[in-house]
Structure 1
Amino acid sequence: MDPVEALQRHGGVASHAQLLRLTTRRALRGAVRRGTVIRASRHRYVVPTAEDARGAASELSGVVCLRSAAAHHGWAMKEQPPEPEVAVNPRRHLAASRREGVRVVWMPVAEDDLVTGVTGPLRTVIDCARHLPFDEALAIADSALRTGSVRRAELDGVRVRGAGAAAVRRVLTYAEGRAANPFESVLRALCILAGLEVEPQQAVDLGSGTVHPDLVSRALRVVLEADSWTFHATRAAHARDCARYNLLVIHGWRVFRFTWEQVMLDQAYVRWVLAQVARPVEQEEVGGGWAVPA
């Protein structure tokens, strides 16, 4: 796999070991030489999202914001922005030619919301919640909590008004530091939109031991797994997961497994499955609604 694609699978931030599960040392070294992958530290690689945005912000006398700011803070996300995202004061005028190749967000940013020309962690989470789709914003908020860049108490203390306030409150309510990665966060966002209340990494006692599935609905006795070779270090780890799934079924849990491609690229299918899961059990009917791949 191309190193950039491998890095994207991990949300734009990954260790050397994580990348070598998906690509080769030679390909990774070549990507670093070309600048399509940046070695941020000895064991950490990132895509050049933040670096490109800082250059664009400097050119426009603006501020790095949204997903570009999230990348600067080292957070994993659903997808990188196709263009640098830069906040510019709405009272300024910028010719269209100067804005080419940049997503300009017209919004004021106070000095105390800035850290070296980038929106600070809490402001970045709020802006993403206001301006991005729910699944993207939730993945970013989860990553901010997971890395310790923001604390749960900070999110609980936020009071927002104006356009997009409801969207912000929803993201801040559901943000969860236990989420393992953007893959899991996006799947959880789709569950929430489908009316399924799920918890990440919740302990389930199987008698012979306790497991921690990716997402758990105790009310429905349903487990949902974000399942991909990307997140299995070895075949042995994958075999252990398969054994765990079988035990869950034996103990009366329904287990649903989704690939990275389905969750990130084929959400219509995932939403259809989740709609069936959310229906009362006595009303469920098998068949129809989706073709089984050949």
Structure 2
Amino acid sequence: MDQRADLSEFLRSRRARLKPEDVGLPQYGRHRRVPGLRREELAQLAGVSVAYYTRLEQGHGQNVSTEVLDSIARALRLDETERAHLTHLAKPKAKRKRHMERPEHVRPELLGLLDAMEGVPAYILGRRTDVLAWNLMGRAVFGDFAALPPEERNMARLVFLDPAMQDLFADWECRACEMVSGLRWYAGCHPDDPRLSALVGELSVKNEEFRTLWAAHTVADKTHGRKVLRHPLVGELNLSFETLKLPDNPEQSLVTYHAEPGSASADALRLLASWGAGTEERETSAR
């Protein structure tokens, strides 16, 4: 990934979404040559020279101070995640590319925890949304990850390239945006990850919606919420999800889905669990 280009495009995209009236500046004339704020206006709000801000927006952020970045973040009205992303882009830390290329492993204790979460669809995501492990309910709800080649077990790839996954999410557009926003966040932290570059390249070539969302430079790190799923066997599932980063390995996250007790979705999950248990018994007997 091109860190300087990403910094430049991120700042331009955040500046373009602001209007003068949003930040208390007068609106002169009915027509403006640029969307959002001009560089001069943003520099004025941030308390820096136009030349200084222009260099930063051109991708030259190596020597920028934390105080200046904070001023620019306030002027652009960045949220906490966007502020952190700006810092990653402007002041990147040295990363070990070899570390990024190593296979990820899930601790045996976590695999045991997944199996113990009966009735709760769950899986573990690693770098660049790779699906590393899952439980029986995770497979019953989201599909048979084991049937995929290891290099295709990637949630972002499935969301954009698998028609079954697109049918599963009732709010697929929202899910797609969350996926890209999460990948953008990861890219800011790990710009030298070659497998990320390959994934972004593949999705950009194969999916127009991904190209549009990636170009928007939206960044987010959504950790909880609700999803409506349209399951082919049990119908609509209204589920809450939690994304829990592992304290000893922040590159991995445990993602769980659960239904409100006594709801139709909870009954549907129990039905799926019973079917899944029967399938597992038949597969074990066959082996």
Scaled by the length of structure 1, what TM-score is found?
A: 0.27
Larger radius of gyration: 2
**Greater percentage in helix:** 2
Larger RCO of the pair (alpha carbons < 8 Å, separation 6+)? 2
TM-score, length of structure 2 as denominator length? 0.27
